[in-house]
Amino acid sequence: MTADIRNWVHIGTLEDIPREGARCVKNGDMTIAIFRTAKDDVFALEDKCPHKNGPLSQGIVHDGCVTCPLHNWVISLETGAAQGADEGRTAAFPVRLEDGRILIDLSYSHEAV
């Protein structure tokens, strides 16, 4: 139902984020981490590890995942799900790239667990 009503917000350009790095977007009390991979794909996760709320934006980005800087949990950039034996999920937001402009939809997320 709401799937068609998307609220795309322009937050910056691809060049604002270092390759294999991340930047943050503040949205009220929530911080969203925007990741750029080696292949220039862009993903958005709430900046909170499902384990102990570590800031995922500060982690190392590799192969479609980010490793949390606090206790090395590995989180999928696409789904926000913890990888391997760990269980938990961070909210993930849809992202679109248009001519190097990054748009995210904050009204719609995979549920955080």
For another protein, the binding residues (CB under 8 A) are 7, 9, 11-12, 16-21, 23-28, 31, 34, 37-38, 52-55, 58-63, 67, 69-70, 72, 74, 106-107
- Residue with smaller CB distance to another protein, 61 or 81: 61
Shortest reach from residue 51's CB to another protein, in Å? 11
Question: For the stretch 81-102, what's the b/e string if a residue is b when 16 or more beta carbons lie within 10 angstroms of its beta carbon?
Answer: bbeeebeebbbbbbbeeeeeeb
Instruction: Quickly count: other Cβ atoms within 10 Å of residue 112's Cβ.
Output: 14
Please state the closest distance from residue 46 (CB atom) to another protein, in A: 13
Residue carrying the six token digits 């929530």 = 30
Nearest approach, Cβ of 17 to another protein (angstroms)?
Answer: 7
